[in-house]
Amino acid sequence: MWTEQASGSGTRRRRERSPEEELHTTQDGWWQMTLRALRTLLLFSIILGLSLLLWGYVFQGCGPSPCKTSVCQDLLDLYLASGNTSVAPCTDFFSFACGNINRTGSPFQALAEENKRRVRRILETPGSWRLAPGEEKAFEFYNSCMNMSAIEAAGASPFRQVIEELGGWSIFGNWTPLDFNQTLSLLMSQYGHFPFFRAYLKPLPTPPYLPVIQIDQPELDVLLKQKQEPNYAQILREYLSYLNRLVTLLGGDPTKVGNDASYSLFINSQLNQFLRPGEQQQAQGKVFEMVTIDQLQVPRAKGWGKMGIKRVAPAIDWLSCLQATFAPMSLSPSYRVAVHDLEYLKNMSQLIEKDLMKHRDFLQSHIIFGLVKTLSPALDSQFQEAHRSLSQKVGELTGRPPMVRTAGEEFFQPVHPRWMTCVEKTEAFFEPTLATLFIKETFKPSTHSAAMELFTTIKDTFISHLHTVPWMDRETRAEAQDRLTQLQVKMGPSEWALKPDPARQEYDDVQLGPSFLQTFLSCVRSRQARVIQGFLQPFSSHRWQVLPWGLKASYSIPDHVMVFPAGLLQPPFFHPGYPRAVNFGAAGSIMARELLHIFDQLLLPGGCPACDTRALQKALLCLERLYAALPSPKGTSFNVSRTLLEDAADAGALAIALKAYKKRLVLFRGETILPNLDLSPRQLFFRSYAQVMCRDPSTQDPQDIRSPPTLRVHGPLSDSPAFTTHFRCPQGALLNPPSRCQLW
């Protein structure tokens, strides 16, 4: 039934419902609400499922997958061979990563040798390269060096000819004494031999960074310091035996050389007493002093020269010797040279004046003995074997194994194969040619772009990281950020290794033959001439060069340029196909360390007046105590205060490289790991960092400014909270100390 109800000006009709209809309507409403709830739940489930699927694609899809390429397999083999996984990583990570280093050797040493093998392959396949006129002489020199049958057939005859050019030898009975300074000039300019001091061209390390002649202590054959050597008498006997053998090889009578050999030992011993370690020079604040040639020169009257200047080393005719060595440079008495140890020159000069000039025949013998060592790579193998045997025996008696310096690093190397000697000498004499060929062979565009990308990430991370350095004031922080922003980097080759160079293309002054020794000496003179000509060119383009096969990154202060040589950016430290964790942990930490060294001055006393000195000193002291609390390897000792700058760079480099790696993971997915190593990506990062430091701790030089390798691993890791987290180090473990430092 319908009823009408007034509503304003109109009417509205309403139908009354029965109880059954009301119940049915209520049920329909409930059902509609249930359907809406189910639809909402279904929609939410779909969205959740899609979200989980998307999360799995983005995050799980970029999760670690095994790298199965050949370069990764080679790296895995190295890690498995060098490490000792039975050691707890939180207690001794060095042994965990490097416990079998005696079996695999230092990765730096292995890489240096591999770079030599790369150069060897270049030199043994000349037909593979398009050579400019004259460049074939590099390959001819190498072949002559490897032709040991011809060198053995010549025997000592080529060297006996050199002795005649120096006036002969009393032991041979045909000596015509030359003036001492005339002999010294010949040795320095024609034979590259510096028996009493070294003289070389190099830019000064202080403004205005001009190239200058520098005079330094000599590199003596055997260090004879009686008070410091418990087996001093036995060392003397071995050295006398060696000198007797040289005389026999040269065709002389060893029974007539006793006094000459004894006097040579006396000279060596005296010069050793005068030597002052570079560390001591730095401690005294006298790395070098600028003096004029006139101040070193032979005086016209005894004692004092012009204007009351006392002569430092009057026994040497400095002007004539240096002019002969560095011609065509024009030198004068007023020319200023950099002397690294004036006291040494003074004592050396007095020794020559008081004792040696009275025994010129003995002095001549000493010079000839030393010249044999300098020219030994070009002589009969018996000369090389004699010196190698001496080095080995002296090493056994002193407890210091014979070391060789390769690519800027020092390594133990008991055997030096002939091909490696020939490669090193060819590199030295034909450096411009081989530098270009080495770059073409080893540093592809993909390697260059990947290395630049890595460096840019490290540098940008460091710039942003400066905001967290607690002791740095705002102005210093801004200046540091500007310096990093303006820094130039040369990744792999420098311009000089890529641009055509007339000296590289011609080598007109290199004469090959008739004997290998004469070829060798011609190359010695040619190289010296190129060095001098380079320094006479515009200063900016010839200030410094980094060898592409080297392993040491370099920073030029005046140019504000950092160079990472191609030889360093190779496996096992870097490869475009490596897991990012490896590249950031190894090469990335090396790059970060070099960047930090730019700011070493800030850490020195008074180096940052505006900084929070108290906070800086607190952080330095904290780091010093952190390293002092770590156990040193047996048989090694080090001075924490001496290694502090390097320790700071190591710890800071690890933190910056790790931060950069995390940043990279956020931006890019698809991380890989090394299979069968059972390490997560972040664990692999720390493992790769440690691998860079792997070397035998017993080979550590006591004068090294870096900590022993065990501490270079344990120090930074114990200062890293992330290491403790990712390796789940328990409280009280060696590498989980109760407190940490923040210097960088």
**Greatest extent of the chain over all pairs of C-alpha atoms, in Å:** 153
- Residues 435 and 155 sit within 8 Å (Cβ to Cβ): no
Q: Which candidate, 102, 385, 62, places its Cα nearest to that of 248?
A: 385
Distance CA 260, CA 252 (A): 13
What residues contact 154, with CB distance under 8 A and at least 6 apart? 380, 515, 516, 517
594 labelled catalytic? yes
- What one-character-per-residue DSSP string does 518-576 give? HHHHHHHHHHHHHHHHHHHS-GGGSS----TT----EEETTTTEEEEETTTSSTTT--T
Query: Tokens in use for 312?
Result: 């430092």
Q: Which candidate, 521, 496, 500, 567, places its Cα nearest to that of 116?
A: 567
Q: Which of the following is catalytic: 441, 650, 671, 719?
A: 650
- Residues 340 and 288 sit within 8 Å (Cβ to Cβ): yes
Distance CA 331, CA 322 (A): 8
Q: Express the helix, strand and coil content of the chain in percent, nearest 5 each.
A: 60, 10, 35
Distance CA 233, CA 344 (A): 25
- Other beta carbons less than 10 A from residue 161's beta carbon: 12
Edge-to-edge strand order for the sheet containing 561-565?
A: 488-492, 561-565, 554-556
- What one-character-per-residue DSSP string does 203-252 give? E-SSTT--EEEEEE----SS---GGG-TTHHHHHHHHHHHHHHHHHHTT-
229 labelled catalytic? no
SS3 per-residue string spanning 604-650: CCCCCCCCCHHHHHHHHHHHHHHHHCCCCCCCCCCCCCCCHHHHHHH
Give the distance from CA 171 to its chain's centroid: 44
Which position has the token pair 């990062």?
Answer: 685
Q: Which of the following is catalytic: 594, 646, 647, 671?
A: 594
Distance CA 718, CA 707 (A): 15
Distance CA 427, CA 221 (A): 23
- Residues 209 and 557 sit within 8 Å (Cβ to Cβ): yes
> For strand 336-339 and strand 289-292, is the pairing parallel, antiparallel, or unpaired?
antiparallel
The three-class DSSP label of residue 299 is coil
Q: For the packed helices 360-375 and 516-536, what is the interaxial angle rounded to 10 degrees?
A: 90
What residues contact 302, with CB distance under 8 A and at least 6 apart? none
Distance CA 551, CA 442 (A): 14
- Catalytic residue ranges: 594, 650
